[in-house]
Amino acid sequence: MGEEQVFASKVEGDLVVSEVEAGMVEMRLRAAIDASQSGLLMIDAEGRVVLANREVERLFQYSREELLGKPVELLLPEAQRELHVSERSAFCAHPRMRTMGMGRDLHGRRKDGMEVPVEIGLSPVVTTEGLFVVASIVDVAPRRVAEKERARLEDQLRHLQKMEAIGTLAGGIAHDFNNILSAIVGYAEFIRDELPTGSAPRRDVDVLLQAADRGRQLVKRILTFSRRQETVRMPVDLGMVIRDATNLLRATLPASIQMRLTSEPNAPRVLADPTSLHQVVMNLATNAAHAMTDGGSLDISIEPFYVRDSFARARPQLHEGPYGILTVRDTGHGMEKAIADRAFEPFFTTKDPGSGTGLGLSTVLAIMRDHDGMVELESEVGKGTTVKCFFPAVEATTAEDAETASSLPRGNGERVLLVDDEVDLARLGGRRLRLLGYEPTCVEDPVDAVRRFEADPQAFDLLVTDYLMPKVSGIELCRRVLALRPDLPILMTSGCIDQLSADDLRRIGNIRLLGKPVAQSVLAETLRAMLHER
């Protein structure tokens, strides 16, 4: 082989190697571009697409072949295309690095016509072929979703903080209100015990005591709801609880909505948490009110219902037996079937943004499942909505007649130190203790009570004290007294019992806890039990 042939072969070989290397570089560049999490789009000076990566294909749903050679305005909303042509020409006349979409809404248009929020960074590139513009496109839809979710969570946090503040306020109100009820209950019991058994005045006082007890239960429910405490299921009169809830509703519903409550006299007792029942009624009534912006009728009814085997077979949540049905019916705009089918989904709502959380009906469903019951919804556009809640009934119990003071467990002259900063309650407590056979010493100042006890720790057999008091709290009073007499039995009463833990009190000493107002029978039984244990 001649020298010229050898040289030619070498040159040809170098060209082949160079072409291979160039091809590998191009493949690597293409792989890097396609691997980018941002959409990369290159257009020429005429606005035609000359390069698009996989993210651009995913975001706009066009294939690469459909985009190459097409004007970039294809990826813009139709209303912006004409203006963009002039803006593109101005940019190419004075090319520079530019970021668009930060702090304002910028949208691209997918192949199916849907607009997607984006942010775009423009970078001019000058080559031997002329000017090109590389656009880096970021899909900000996931970010917008995350921002909305964060805003929702922040709203929930503010709501929880507000509920905590309401709980704190409710605790103070409950303390004062229960002190008032304590005086009502105490003096009403005095009057009842002076009246002949079976007389009309005595029956009237019994009704007064029942009303006071319902007031105490109502305060307890408000405290439990505001503090989101664990539910406690007990046999309750479904009609009575619903009546309590509707009384609260009347003050909150718009005047344009007429509310009617119908309760059959033989409405059953159900095993339920009263606070949860209140929440069911409140949520259903609130939903109904939102559906009657122009006014209407809200009908709430309670009735007994016996679930037959055939009825239960079509509803696996139920079993054969007696139930109580709570029905809430409104004359609002109603719902289409597609919306009614999703009504119990968490966070599903048809209200305007900020007008609802979509948790009202889902909370009702959760409560009904927790109570081994069922909820059904029927709705028709233009005719309103009906929701039925099925609660399993429990056997009715007959309330025993209230005991008189003469039949209650009595003391044997034990010395009781009674401490309560409310003057009326201190006097009332002293009188109740004397009627039960104790020798009370009533003190309104807890500091004075400490001084009396320090002067003679053996002067008393039992301490009865309030919890919330000025200067020295009930807890601090107990600590000081028990430091001198560790074996002394103590009864603590409070109008906001939810703030105390019976277990925590037992760790301090022999302390019993009762919530105000305290019935005479409960007081008598508790004092006798404490002294007997000692």
| Lowest-pLDDT choice from 52-66, 141-155, 189-203, 211-225 | 211-225
Tokens encoding 495: 């109008």
> d(Cα 46, Cα 265) in Å, to the nearest integer?
84
Task: Output the pLDDT for position 88.
Answer: 87
**240 and 359 co-located in one domain:** yes
Q: Would you say residue 232 has pLDDT above 70?
A: no
Looking at 397, 426, 453, the residue that finishes a domain is: 397
282 and 326 together in one domain: yes
Assessment of whether the complete model's pTM goes beyond 0.75: no
Q: Is residue 161 part of a domain?
A: no
> 524 and 460 share a domain?
yes
Q: What is the average pLDDT value for the chain, to the nearest integer?
A: 81
Domain membership flag for residue 149: no
- On whether residue 165 sits in a domain, the answer given is no
**Per-residue model confidence (pLDDT) at position 400:** 38
Range from 169-178, 216-225, 396-405 carrying the lowest mean pLDDT: 396-405
Residue 343 belongs to some domain of the structure: yes
Burial of 533 (0-12, 13-18, 19+ CB in 10 A): exposed
Q: Give the domain range for residue 1.
A: 1-28
In a domain, 302, yes or no: yes
In three-state form (DSSP H/G/I as H, E/B as E, the rest C), the secondary structure along 232-289 is: CCEEEEHHHHHHHHHHHHHCCCCCCEEEEEEECCCCCEEEECHHHHHHHHHHHHHHHH
Closest C-alpha among 459, 446, 442, 463 to residue 510: 463
Structural domain count of the chain:
4
At residue 28 the predicted structure's pLDDT band, cuts being 50, 70 and 90, is: confident
> Could you tell me if residue 219 is inside a domain?
no
Q: Does residue 349 sit in the same domain as residue 257?
A: yes
Residue 151 in domain:
no
Are 115 and 63 in a shared domain? yes
Separation of alpha carbons 97 and 417, rounded Å: 85
Give me the mean pLDDT over the 24-42 stretch: 84
C-alpha 238/C-alpha 391 separation (Å) is: 9
Could you give the count of Cα atoms lying within 13 Å of 307 in the half-sphere of its Cβ?
A: 21
Is 521 found in the same domain as 410?
yes
Say if residue 418 is in the same domain as residue 356: no
Cis peptide before 95 (omega within 30 of 0): no
Q: Are residues 95 and 51 in the same domain?
A: yes
Mean pLDDT to the nearest integer, 363-367 = 82
Reported as a pLDDT band with limits 50, 70 and 90, residue 347 is low
Question: Are residues 129 and 51 located together in one domain of the fold?
Answer: yes
CA distance 87 to 43: 14
Read off the pLDDT of each residue in 284-299 and give the average, rounded to a whole number.
87
Most confident of 191-200, 401-410, 453-462: 453-462
pLDDT above 50 (res 6) = no
Residue 357 scores a pLDDT above 50: no
The per-residue pLDDT for range 156-205, each reduced to its tens digit, is 777 667 666 766 666 667 767 777 888 888 888 888 888 888 888 888 88
Rg of the chain on CA atoms, in Å: 38
Task: Report the CATH number at residue 129.
Answer: 3.30.450.20
**pLDDT at residue number 497:** 57
CA distance 334 to 493: 50
Residue indicated by tokens 């058994």: 197
In a shared domain, residues 17 and 85 = no
Entry field: residues in the chain? 534
pLDDT band at residue 218 using 50, 70 and 90 as cut-offs? low
Asked whether the predicted pLDDT for residue 520 surpasses 60, the reply is: yes
CATH number, domain of 259, equals: 3.30.565.10
Say if strands 234-237 and 462-466 run parallel, antiparallel, or are unpaired: unpaired
Position 48 scores a pLDDT of: 93
Which amino acid appears at position 72 of this protein? Answer: V
66 with 18, same domain?
Answer: no
Domain end residue (candidates: 139, 172, 201): 139
Model confidence at 5: pLDDT above 90: no
Q: What's the average model confidence in pLDDT over 238-263? A: 82
Using pLDDT thresholds of 50, 70 and 90, give the confidence band for residue 11: very low
Q: Are 200 and 263 in contact (CB under 8 A)?
A: no
Note whether 49 and 88 are within 8 A (CB): no
Is 368 in the same domain as 416?
no
pLDDT tens track for 458-490: 999 999 998 888 888 888 999 999 999 998 999
- Whether residue 216 is contained in a domain is answered as no
Dist. CA 184–CA 517, nearest whole Å: 9
Q: What is the DSSP string of 113-160?
A: S-EEEEEEEEEEEEETTEEEEEEEEEE-HHHHHHHHHHHHHHHHHHHH
Domain stop point among 342, 362, 397: 397
> Parallel, antiparallel, or unpaired for β 130-139 and 384-394?
unpaired
d(CA 48, CA 61): 18
Is 327 strand, coil or helix? strand
Report the CATH number at residue 413: 3.40.50.2300
User: Residue 405 has what pLDDT?
Assistant: 43
